[in-house]
Structure 1
Amino acid sequence: MTIWPPRPGTLKRPAYRYLAQAIVSAIETGALRPGDRLPTHRELAYQLGLSVQTVSRAYEELIRIQMIVGEVGRGTFVSTAAREAAPPYQRVTPEQKVIDCSMLTPIVTELHTRKMSETLGGMASALPDAVLQSFRPQPAHSSHVQTALTWLQRCGVRTASDCVIMTNGSTSAMTVALTSVTTAGDLVATEAMGHHTLPTLARTLGLRLAALPMDHEGILPEALDNLCSATQVKALYTMPAGLNALACTMGNERRDAICAVARHHGLMIVENDAWGPLEPHRPAPLAMRAPERTLYFTGLSKCLLPGLRVGYLVVPPRLAEAANNRHLATSWMATALMGEIGARWIAEGTAEELLHWQRRALARRNQFAADRLGPIRHRAAPRGLHIWIPLSEPGHEAAVVARLRERGLAVAPGNPFALDDASYHPGIRFCVGNRSEKAFETGIDIVATLLSGPAEQGKAPDRIYETD
């Protein structure tokens, strides 16, 4: 429920809880903004056909979690206090009849469940002592890292085992990489529309971020060069392989140009390649073009199975000791059981099998989406995990997200991916990894119908998507 205000009779029971959820959703999608005044308890109760007590209880819940504030004599307002940025995905509970295409995951079926069950059964009878008993990363993960080299080669990265750190997924790897090449106060350049967790992590580490303008291939080399010429930049954090919010993929020339700028200005590069080898014929990673200054990470959760939190961080040899120490300080070591599962899947061929399955499934879904969306402008990698649909005006984004939710579809708004207001590209991110094929196709139909249909009174206008 994200339409604001809700329609009378649409709130389920208990009404106060669903009213509170509707207000939260409206705030997260931008339908309600910081400082907006909410209706009085009595006004909203009259509008929705509820009791004043029900509205009061919903408001009290939101005041308690600091989403709204009540000011004596003035009314109730959306909080303007600094809060952690809302995630791009929406809150969808099991009892809600909503197709969730807001969460970025690979496609998962009974095949994946069966493969995991088989692996766990095999581990029960033959589990290495180091996995259970070692409290030190080296003994626990030495064999896992050797196996990881095979997976990294599939990602296009060749390196030595001493330069690989096992992590609990890509988020842990990102933290270790940034803390290995920056200190508090440093400036890090990144995509204007990039990784939604990076700003929060940067604030935690005391780092400053600079937004770089983007085109269809991602960040512009001349923009990076101009920034580095004007001020001291310590590192570049980038996602060149299509997983940034705008689904931009760098070609070979762009990657070479970015590496040339980095060398000229002495920049370190942190390369996020969380999707790994989903695209079979892709340009070589930055880590192979500028290995002396690139910290590269990938993982298994985005391309094989969401719950398989296994990541691999590759660092230049001169930074190996520092990076290992940062990992010890932040996580101590990756979970050995997860590392064992990942290693077995790679060694036994399960990872290869599931990778090829995922590629085929994503290619089929992306082609279906392209055919169904037709003239509606959008961008996606051929086997990407999401589709970016740009919108013409920032104000349209919240309305579109709300309209889609009303029709039973949850998508991610573009706002959480923007580094600042100046770099904001309005649009929606539609994630294609929903478990059900039918649900995915229904979701695409809902989007295509909304964005190509006639305008409705009081709703978002017709042809609100961008045109070339």
Structure 2
Amino acid sequence: MSNVTAHWLKRLAESEKPVYQTIPDLIEEDVASGRLRPRDRLPALRDLSDALKINYTTLARGYAEARKRGLIDSRAGSGSYVRGRPPAVPLRAGTALEMTMNMPPEPPEMTALLAESSAQIIGAADAWSLLRYQDFGGTQFERSVASQWLRHTVPDHRADAVLVCPGIHNALVALLLRLVKPGETICVDCLAYPGLKVIANQLGMTLAPLPRDDEGLDATAFEALCKTRKPGVLYCNPTLQNPTTRTLSQNRREHIADIALRYDVPIIEDDAYGMLCEKTPVALATLAPELTYYVTGMSKCFGAGLRVAYVVAPSARHAQRLSGALRATTVMASPYMSHLAARWIENGIAQQMLAAIRSECAVRQHIAAQVFASRAFETSKDCFHLWLTVPAATGWSASELASHLRTKQIGVVSGAAFSTDGNPPNAVRICLGGPGDALAMEESLHLVADMIDHPDHLHSPML
């Protein structure tokens, strides 16, 4: 039995949806995670029917649904293949309509300042020192500056528990390797950062999805899971959550922290967007400091190329142990990037950048609220993405809408990319920071709204 077939067998047993609807969901999830790739041949219907122990007609209906969504192609005599994506939209350097990758807007007033300051910082540095191996976890200067910067969100942490890492994604890999033992699960929201799904898949780790309510991650469900099988770790994105933009209340945070403390479950607090909040919520790392690994970074709040992240471990001893896993996976953070970030924090430019980005986010969110005024969506003035519900009455599925928008050179991300329980909501995440200016963004959003309003495009061919 192939890895894909074994995975589908397990997921079908867990799903509450009809099999024919679950099959295309599984294909879409596997493409998003890399388990399936464009042009991969899918198992023949008869073989897959036998392997999954499901009715041939039901499976054929599932493949038909996947074709309808634009996920696969079928040819008589040659079988069914994973469909290649529509022509990819270039990233920010090549287009004004990239709204898939979550990245902050680039306020034009900061351009000259960033160029001038970065030249001065790098020009004044000892070039050879930046080309040598560095102290792992950052130099003493970088860790000290990072610690002062993080006092805003985690005021009572120990400076010797801070590590400088090459990006949040790398930090998550090291944390999961360090914290999750064989056979343990990663407790996670039923909607989560897609990168976490990819990491768990590559490491052979199992996700234990939790339901959510109007606020976010359900604490009662977390406790129920802890009672039946203690998870290896709780992964949580409590502030401006990706993709829904929800921020957990103080009461919900206290409830989650209390449960983690009672059942001794470590917490990975992914605070990728927390710096964007003018009024900072109380961190889980403050409520459960002995269990929480607080992770934040520069790439989601300043620019994707600034691959610098900071981890606040529960103690210096925990930081030393974590550094072994980080060293094994990444060797060290880029000395140039980490030095530049530290100097920008030290001289106040980082704070100026944040203020400018917050201001631009507010402008773009105001425009988006006007464009989508009659539609259901979630957002926050503090962040640069929104979560748009695709009404069932339009006939669109989120994946179909995303595929057809690609043909118009507009990129959005369907709910399946974030789903950890195999039951994705019919919604898309739209990044407002990607388009080069607010006018280009507004034009793109009007095109999205127009396509939702005209489902006659649903079965038009994708070129």
Q: Which stretch has the larger CA shift, 95-104 or 345-354?
A: 95-104
CA contact (8 A) 1:167 1:334 kept: yes
Aligned 1:321-360 pairs, distance under 5 A: 321-360=320-359
Cα distance in structure 1, aligned partners of 2:424 and 2:137? 46
CA contact (8 A) 2:375 2:389 kept: no
Aligned to 1:78: 81
Cα distance in structure 1, aligned partners of 2:72 and 2:306? 37
**Match status 1:92 vs 2:95:** no
Closer, same or farther: CA 330–414 of 1 in aligned 2, 3 Å = same
Aligned to 1:456: 456
Q: Deviations over 1:53-98 (max 9, x none)?
A: xxxxxxxxxxxxxx98999x72242249xxxxx99x9821489977
SS in structure 1 opposite 2:177? helix
SS in structure 2 opposite 1:282? coil
1:133 CA displacement: 5.4
Closer, same or farther: CA 216–115 of 1 in aligned 2, 3 Å = farther
Cα distance in structure 2, aligned partners of 1:444 and 1:412? 14
Aligned to 1:286: 284
Aligned to 1:397: 398
**Match status 1:373 vs 2:372:** yes
Cα distance in structure 2, aligned partners of 1:125 and 1:459? 56
SS in structure 2 opposite 1:359? helix
Cα distance in structure 2, aligned partners of 1:293 and 1:167? 20
Letter in 2 for 1:417: F
Aligned to 2:19: none
Q: Deviations over 1:366-418 (max 9, x none)?
A: 12111221120000122212110123459611232234334442211111111
Q: Deviations over 1:233-286 (max 9, x none)?
A: 121001011232222210111111111111121110001011131011132111
Letter in 1 for 2:219: P
Letter in 2 for 1:456: D
Closer, same or farther: CA 70–444 of 1 in aligned 2, 3 Å = closer
Report the aligned-residue RMSD: 3.3
Cα distance in structure 2, aligned partners of 1:305 and 1:248? 22
Cα distance in structure 1, aligned partners of 2:258 and 2:224? 13
CA contact (8 A) 1:362 1:384 kept: yes
Letter in 1 for 2:253: R
Aligned to 1:416: 417
Cα distance in structure 2, aligned partners of 1:33 and 1:371? 42
Closer, same or farther: CA 267–113 of 1 in aligned 2, 3 Å = same
SS in structure 1 opposite 2:100? coil
TM-score, normalised by the number of residues in structure 1:
0.77
CA contact (8 A) 1:149 1:158 kept: no
TM-score, normalised by the number of residues in structure 2:
0.77
SS in structure 1 opposite 2:269? strand
Cα distance in structure 1, aligned partners of 2:80 and 2:137? 55
1:199 CA displacement: 1.9
Cα distance in structure 2, aligned partners of 1:98 and 1:402? 18
Aligned to 1:210: 208
CA contact (8 A) 1:173 1:313 kept: yes
Closer, same or farther: CA 194–157 of 1 in aligned 2, 3 Å = farther
Cα distance in structure 2, aligned partners of 1:32 and 1:448? 31
Structure 2 gaps of 5+ residues are: 1-27, 45-70
Q: Deviations over 1:117-148 (max 9, x none)?
A: 22332134421478425424259511011111
SS in structure 1 opposite 2:377? coil
Cα distance in structure 2, aligned partners of 1:139 and 1:97? 36
Letter in 2 for 1:104: N
Letter in 1 for 2:326: H
1:456 CA displacement: 2.6
CA contact (8 A) 1:225 1:261 kept: yes
**Match status 1:442 vs 2:443:** yes
Q: How many residues are matched?
A: 397
CA contact (8 A) 1:413 1:429 kept: yes
Letter in 2 for 1:381: S
Cα distance in structure 1, aligned partners of 2:254 and 2:41? 42
CA contact (8 A) 2:216 2:246 kept: yes
Structure 1 gaps of 5+ residues are: 1-23, 38-66, 81-85, 461-468
Cα distance in structure 1, aligned partners of 2:136 and 2:457? 64
Q: Deviations over 1:147-200 (max 9, x none)?
A: 111221233443222101100111112122222222233211001110101122
CA contact (8 A) 1:157 1:285 kept: no
CA contact (8 A) 1:92 1:98 kept: no
Cα distance in structure 2, aligned partners of 1:280 and 1:138? 32
Q: Deviations over 1:312-352 (max 9, x none)?
A: 01101141221111111111211111111001100111001
Aligned 1:99-178 pairs, distance under 5 A: 99-128=97-126, 131-132=129-130, 134-137=132-135, 141-178=139-176
CA contact (8 A) 1:191 1:214 kept: yes
**Match status 1:426 vs 2:426:** yes
Cα distance in structure 2, aligned partners of 1:130 and 1:97? 37
CA contact (8 A) 1:213 1:220 kept: yes
Aligned to 2:12: none
Letter in 2 for 1:272: D
Cα distance in structure 2, aligned partners of 1:90 and 1:380? 29
Aligned match of 2:248 in 242, 247, 250? 250
Letter in 1 for 2:376: R
Cα distance in structure 1, aligned partners of 2:182 and 2:117? 43
Closer, same or farther: CA 202–34 of 1 in aligned 2, 3 Å = same
Aligned to 1:185: 183
Q: Which stretch has the larger CA shift, 141-150 or 170-179?
A: 170-179
Closer, same or farther: CA 139–284 of 1 in aligned 2, 3 Å = closer
Q: Deviations over 1:26-77 (max 9, x none)?
A: x87x99998599xxxxxxxxxxxxxxxxxxxxxxxxxxxxx98999x72242
CA contact (8 A) 1:388 1:429 kept: yes
Cα distance in structure 2, aligned partners of 1:280 and 1:123? 27
Cα distance in structure 1, aligned partners of 2:263 and 2:112? 50
Cα distance in structure 2, aligned partners of 1:391 and 1:119? 44
Aligned 1:190-339 pairs, distance under 5 A: 190-317=188-315, 318-339=317-338
Cα distance in structure 2, aligned partners of 1:424 and 1:156? 33
